[in-house]
């Protein structure tokens, strides 16, 4: 085979040093060039196959099969893919191979480029390829899981597992957009754990964490399935009520939230009676409100509920002082 170089690629060296068997033949099957691997497999010196015919390298059964089936297909389609045959080697040894042939029009006369893959090596390669593919799939699945976990961590409180403030903001904006389309209201409850500072100061922050986990569980059980409890910051929780068809629904949910801590809880071997200060706010959403309008409504709704919560807390302190 003539030496052709394009850039830094020497096609002659690629042909002769390939681990697969390469043959260039005329369309009548006469071998014009064979690489070193092919010569080694058939037990001849380099160049020793030139002028012989492909069929001379095959046992009788494969020659018959080639004449009756493979040859006509090559003539018709111009290619032949992975035909299982045997090569005759030294002392009559037979080497199972997979033969692929492509007919080219490169040059003045058509040529057949034949590639022989040793069948055992090919099967091993396919197994290795399948194994590599499975490893790639496993790596991609692990990467997707890590991304999913990272996304979850970014939107959830690590202590309680509840959605965090960032997730609340996204959920509230989405709820307001839907409310504008469907003409219903949206409500929020702003909740603060009463006397939480005393728990931290007297029992320690670990006990405070257990209290927050308990409050998160009780709040999640008190609200409806469609409502969302979030840990807003510290000992503050916000309940998003994404659909209010009747204003009375807001107070009904607030009542269940206020009552959810009625039972005492034991933390750090100490029985605690907890309570919540709950502020409420609701809003209607204009149907023509845009994204900027939704952001303004979301901010106003949270501020109103926060102010109402502080009003409730102030009234409780005044009542305690007067009592």
CA separation for the pair 266, 118 (Å, rounded): 74
Q: Strand pairing partners for 183?
A: none
The answer to whether residue 235 is catalytic is yes
Q: Which of 62, 112, 157, 235 is catalytic?
A: 235
Whether 55 contacts 63, CB under 8 Å: yes
* Owner of token pair 């080639």: 66
- Bridging pattern class, strands 228-233 and 79-88: unpaired
- State the helix-helix crossing angle for 119-155 and 165-182, rounded to 10 degrees: 80
Structure tokens given for 125? 């390669």
CA separation for the pair 79, 91 (Å, rounded): 31
Q: Does residue 232 sit in helix, strand or coil?
A: strand
Give CA angle at 167 (163, 170), nearest 5°: 150
CA separation for the pair 165, 302 (Å, rounded): 11
Catalytic positions are 235
């Amino acid at each position: 085979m003539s030496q052709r170089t394009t850039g830094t690629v020497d096609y002659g060296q690629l042909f002769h040093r390939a681990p697969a068997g390469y043959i260039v033949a005329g369309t009548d099957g006469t071998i014009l060039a064979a690489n070193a691997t092919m010569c080694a497999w058939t037990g001849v010196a380099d160049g020793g196959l030139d002028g012989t015919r492909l069929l001379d390298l095959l046992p009788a059964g494969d020659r018959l099969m080639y004449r009756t089936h493979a040859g006509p297909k090559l003539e018709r389609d111009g290619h032949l893919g992975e035909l299982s045959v045997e090569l005759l080697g030294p002392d009559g040894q037979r080497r199972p191979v997979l033969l692929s042939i492509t007919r080219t029009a490169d040059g003045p006369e058509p040529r057949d480029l034949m590639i022989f893959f040793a069948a055992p090596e090919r099967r091993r390669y396919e197994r290795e390829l399948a194994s590599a593919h499975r490893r790639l799939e496993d790596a991609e699945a692990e990467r997707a899981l890590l991304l999913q976990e990272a996304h979850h961590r970014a939107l959830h409180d690590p202590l309680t597992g509840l959605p965090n403030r960032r997730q609340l903001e996204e959920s509230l904006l989405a709820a307001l957009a839907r409310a504008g389309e469907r003409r219903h209201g949206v409500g929020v409850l702003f909740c603060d754990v009463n006397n939480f500072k005393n728990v931290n100061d007297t029992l320690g922050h670990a006990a405070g964490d257990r209290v927050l986990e308990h409050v998160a569980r009780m709040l999640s059980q008190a609200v409806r399935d469609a409502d969302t409890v979030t840990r807003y910051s510290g000992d503050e929780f916000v309940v998003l009520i994404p659909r209010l068809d009747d204003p009375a629904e807001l107070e009904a949910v607030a009542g269940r939230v206020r009552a959810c801590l009625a039972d005492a809880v034991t933390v750090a071997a100490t029985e605690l009676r907890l309570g919540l200060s709950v502020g409420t706010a609701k809003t209607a959403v204009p149907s023509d409100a845009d994204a900027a309008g939704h952001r303004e409504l979301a901010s106003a709704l949270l501020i109103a509920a926060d102010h109402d919560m502080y009003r409730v807390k102030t009234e409780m302190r005044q009542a305690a002082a007067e009592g």
